[in-house]
Amino acid sequence: MDEVFKALADPSRRRLLDSLNARNGQTLRELCAELDMARQSVSKHLAVLEAANLITTRRSGREKLHYLNAEPINAIADRWITRYHRARVHALADLKHALEANPMSDNAFVYTTYIRTTPEKLWQALTDPAFTNRYWGASFDTDWRPGSEMVWHQQDWTSKDPEQVVLESDPYRKLSYTWHTFDPSFAAAFEMNPDDVAAWSREPRSKVTFEIEPAGAELVKLTVVHDGFQPGSAVLAGISGGWPSILSGLKTLLETGETLPEPAV
C-alpha cells in the first residue's frame, strides 16, 4: 500500500483522480486541457497513479483512455482498515466513496485488480459453478465455447435467452460474454421496482470481458471491462455498484479460501 499513499499525497495527482471521477475515460490531451498542466507533468503523474493501480488504461483505436480504479482503496477498506487511526479511517472511507461514486465513462465500466493466484486458477474461478456460487451467488450452464448459449442462475432466478452467449473464450487469457436478460422474474427475485427493470430491458444488451495477464510469480492482473451501454445507462449505474463487491469476493476467495457476503448485480 506504500505506492497508494505516495500517489495520493500529491495534490496534482488528486486533481487528476477528481477529474477522472467527474468524467472517466479521458485521453492525455483531455486531462492536460482540463487541468491546465503541461503534458510531461501529467504523464509523470499518471505513471505514478497507474503504478499504484489507482488508474487503469485502455486503447481505443490510436487513443489511450484513462479510467479511475477503486480497487486499491477497496483493498484497504475491506482488509486493513482497522489498523489505521480513526481519523485516517474516515479519510479513506470518504475517498473510497468518491472513487466509487462515478467509476465509469458514458458507456463502459473498467476495473483492474491484482490477485495472488495463477491464470489457471483464476480461469476456474470465473467459469466453475463451485467457485462462482461462493463469491457471486451465480452460476452458468454453458460449455464456454464461443457462440454457445449461457443459462444464468442466481439465487432462485434463472435466465435462458438465445442472446445470452459466450463471445470469446481463450482459456487463461480472455473470457467475454453478453450480460443477462432483465425480465419480470428478475425484478421479483431481487425485489426490484418492476418499472425500473422494464426500462433496463429496453437498453442494448451489454457485454463483460475478463482479461487475464500474468504479473509475476503467483500474481495475476485481472481487468474487467463491462461495456456496450448507451449514454446515461441505468444498467451501467447498477453494475458499477455491484462489480467492486463481486471482484473483492473473488480476490478474497482465491487468496484466502474465505468468502465475503454474497453481492447481487
Model confidence over 137-190: pLDDT tens digits? 999 999 999 999 999 999 899 999 999 999 999 999 999 999 999 999 999 999
Does any domain span residue 208? yes
pLDDT digits (tens, 9 = 90+) for 29-44: 889 987 778 889 899 9
Concatenating the DSSP letter of every residue in 39-82 gives: HHHHHHHHHHHHHTTSEEEEEETTEEEEEE--HHHHHIIIIIGG
pTM across the whole model: 0.72
207/125 same-domain check: yes
Does any domain span residue 263? no
95/137 same-domain check: no
85/131 same-domain check: no
- Residues 138 and 130: their CA atoms lie apart, in Å, by 10
- The CATH code of the domain that includes 10 is 1.10.10.10
118/84 same-domain check: no
* 72: containing domain: 2-103
Contacts 24+ apart (CB under 8 A), 119-124: 119/172, 119/173, 119/212, 119/214, 119/220, 120/172, 121/254, 122/172, 122/212, 122/220, 122/222, 122/254, 123/171, 123/172, 123/175, 123/212
- The CATH code of the domain that includes 251 is 3.30.530.20
Does any domain span residue 265? no
Does any domain span residue 44? yes
Q: What is the tally of structural domains in the chain?
A: 2
